[in-house]
Amino acid sequence: MNSILILAGKLLSIISRFLNVGSGSTWPGHIALNLNKNFIKDLLKKSKIKIILIAGTNGKTTTGKLIKEILEKNGKKVFINQTGANLLNGIASSMLLRSSILCKINYDFAIFEIDENTLPLILKEISNPDFILILNLFRDQLDRYGEVNTIATKWKEVLSKLSPKTKLILNADDPQVAYLGLSRGVVSDTHRVWNRSYTSVFYFGLENKKRTNKNLQHASDSTYCPNCGSKLSYSMIFYSHLGVWGCPNCKNARPKLDEGDAPIYPLLGIYNRYNTIAAVLLSRQLNIEEKNIIAGLKSFKPAFGRQERINTSGKKVQIFLSKNPTSFNESLRTVSNLGAKNLLIVLNDRIPDGRDVSWIWDVDFEVYIKSFKNITVSGDRAYDMGLRIKYTQTIIHDSLFIIQEDLKKAIELTLEKTPKSEILYILPTYSAMLEVRKILTGKKIL
């Protein structure tokens, strides 16, 4: 049965790519799981592959690709659900496409980025992964996920059932994420001291004191203690609610770091420093040599839409996926620091983006908008974004601020205004990013 599903799935993927209607990254798995609900478990029974799961709101694709590069420099055979197909059918598809007709996966490692809401479902199918790396937890698609504490509660419940085989790699600077490991320890009711009693929990964070903010950003999501509910205090803030935090009431605090820096950083932005440090920490837990870690970081190229650079019509374009308040703020901060003058913002409200776009009012446009010379907005909700920018009360001349619903026309207009000596920076939501890439490259991803 599974052999037939594998053959049929591979054929479907080939046809999909040949017709340029996608990469066949979800449908083979969707069909396989409908015909055999134990398809993933069956494949894993016959394989000795090590499993790495990566969860979090932002940075999953980049971190997974960083780890893959490092492992391959160490001579390992690795695959990843690289198209961002991070639901159960996407995981099944990626396994199916790497399976032999004998239903065996002949790879050393599989790296799966996992949708926040899907992690509990995945752990029912892959009950004993070798690593679970959790990057962060921000508000994202509230109409689908709910608030961050809802996701954190689900994660805490499912992680409490993990076997000792699984190592947790957690972001110490994110209170909700760090608490997933701290709550596995022991609390002394007398002294209110938290202990790390599980050697299978490892923490990463930032140690660079020069990269701090004085105040919490407007889009800060987890500023209350996940243990007692008291307001947290911060001695350092890196971005959003990530920083060196502590609870004045119960003494719950940011745990000691196992990794706070990386040899080099292949991508710009503080948020990508977290991704890099997380990848380095996990690699060191696998005893990867330092020279191979550095070689992997040096050879890294951005995943699609994540600071990806594209040349078109003699012009340079760089895409920064911006899908929620925190990622949008960090994209704006990064391109502003790069001296960006030409900006195209694309806002969609499709299923991958979330139907509710009210989150754009939590983006700190007021801080950055004066940095840009030419601003164009497009997408399904172009006028919502246009109104948001108008409310910054920044005087923008009409010839320098354009609302163009038609994305192809918006790209053409903005490219015309961008001198060859400058870069057009595009900040799209997820489905918009896929559309932008299709227009610029002529190819679909999903």
The pLDDT tens digits of the residues spanning 232-276 come to 999 999 999 999 999 999 999 999 999 999 999 999 999 999 999
pLDDT of residue 24: 56
Beta pairing partners, 133: 54, 169
Angle at 205 between CA 204 and CA 209, to 5 degrees: 150
Residue 41 has a CB neighbour count (10 Å cut-off) of: 13
Q: What is the mean pLDDT of the chain?
A: 87
Buried b (16+ CB within 10 A) or exposed e, 102-115: ebebebbbbbbbbb
pTM summary value = 0.89
> Taking the domains of the chain in order of start, what are their residue ranges?
2-299, 306-441
pLDDT of residue 442: 85
Under the banding of pLDDT at 50, 70 and 90, the label for residue 300 is very high
Do 2-299 and 306-441 show the same overall fold? no
The pLDDT tens digits of the residues spanning 422-436 come to 999 999 999 999 999
Lowest mean pLDDT among 43-57, 171-185, 285-299: 171-185
Under the banding of pLDDT at 50, 70 and 90, the label for residue 86 is confident
Supply the DSSP symbol for 156: H
Alpha-carbon distances of 32 from 137, 141, 212, 233, rounded to whole Å: 31, 28, 48, 49
The pLDDT tens digits of the residues spanning 436-445 come to 999 999 876 6
For the chain, the straight-line distance linking the first and the last C-alpha, in angstroms and rounded, comes to 27
The pLDDT tens digits of the residues spanning 394-424 come to 756 555 799 999 999 999 999 999 999 999 9
Buried b (16+ CB within 10 A) or exposed e, 315-324: bbbbbbbbbb
pLDDT of residue 218: 63
pLDDT of residue 196: 44
For residue 139, is pLDDT > 90?
no
Answer positive or negative: Cα dihedral of 293, 271, 285, 48: negative
Alpha-carbon distances of 323 from 49, 300, 350, 386, rounded to whole Å: 33, 23, 12, 17
Domain made up of 2-299: CATH architecture: 3-Layer(aba) Sandwich (3.40)
Of the CATH numbers 3.90.190.20, 1.10.760.10, 1.10.287.130, 3.40.718.10, which one belongs to the domain with range 306-441?
Answer: 3.90.190.20
